[in-house]
Copies of this chain bind each other. A is one copy, B any other.
């Protein structure tokens, strides 16, 4: 592989409804000589995440929309192949947000050396050991104020954040943990591999009825990755003082129809409930605390995980779409296939 050419995926048009291949363009950029302080990194994995759909729209949001004609940004992990920075010797493993490109060359300030946990595959730093795990941790603790003994319901529980959140809830002392997922296979995984007490397939019947059956004594915490019907169902069964962390609403991200909200908002008043939306950016100060917990849990063998790996940066768009359709179990990552040739 010639690392002086960077293949990058750019946003070419703002999608209406589901993104289509024409909304993206692949470009090849010739990288110049390193400027002082720069490093060149060959990516091993790039992350595709639900929040990226939001950033494709021009609407006001928590982070600036992706620019048209600009390379899609997002989490990625790779190795330094050339360096003009003493802090990043060649061979260092680094995390960054430069996103959908196989080779990145930027000022070293944009990268972070990964403190590797022995035995952990690199891709996990984009997932349960990284932002995804932190999202689950933050949602349960700082946003939903989970306390030991709480009954916790997690929607989209077999997804990247869901698999993290379910395990973290248990490790933090949740009483009963309930999850929903979109296939019977995922549902089985939740109870068999991830230690859920109850799980149901949200495509096989009304969420309201299934959740009520799975939570006969109500729920205290709701970690929502899906939105829509799930939120309505949770509002039905919340115990007084219940708290929801709204992390995702993937059900509606690609909808062009009016998204109708819950019909039972009044329960919020009568039961003293709280709903709190969040994005990770406001809670990054919890990263050290999370890292400490997660390193201990992972090292002790207490963390299970699944990954869905798609090969080739050229398949990044397909990976994103299939992830939003629920094709993944656990974190979806794209492996930039060239890595093996260059580095290993």
- Tell me the A residues contacting B by CB distance below 8 Å: 54, 60-62, 227, 231-232, 240-241, 246-249, 252, 258-279, 282
- Among B231, B240, B278, B282, point to the contact of A265 (Cβ < 8 A): B231
Q: For the complex, give the distance between the alpha carbons of A275 and B276 in Å.
A: 6
B268 and A272 contact, CB distance less than 8 A: no
A271–B61 CA distance with the chains assembled, in angstroms: 6
Q: Evaluate contact between A62 and B268: CB separation under 8 angstroms.
A: no
Contacts A227-B265, A241-B282 known; 6 new A-B pairs at CB < 8 A: A249-B269, A259-B266, A260-B260, A260-B261, A261-B263, A268-B277
B266 touches A227 (CB 8 A): yes
The CA of A259 and the CA of B263, in the complex, are separated in Å by: 5
**Contact in complex: A246, B268 (CB < 8 Å):** yes
Which among A259, A260, A265, A272 has the highest number of chain B CB atoms within 10 Å? A265
A249-B266, A252-B266, A266-B249 are known contacts. Are A272 and B261 too (CB-CB below 8 A)? no
How many whole Å from A140's CB to the nearest CB in chain B? Answer: 16
Instruction: Output the nearest chain B residue to A268 by Cβ-Cβ distance.
Output: B277
A61 proximity list for chain B (CB < 8 A): 270-271
> How close is A135's CB to chain B, nearest CB, in angstroms?
11
List 10 A-B pairs, minimum CB-CB distance, nearest first: A261-B261, A268-B277, A269-B277, A274-B276, A261-B262, A61-B270, A275-B275, A249-B266, A62-B270, A261-B265
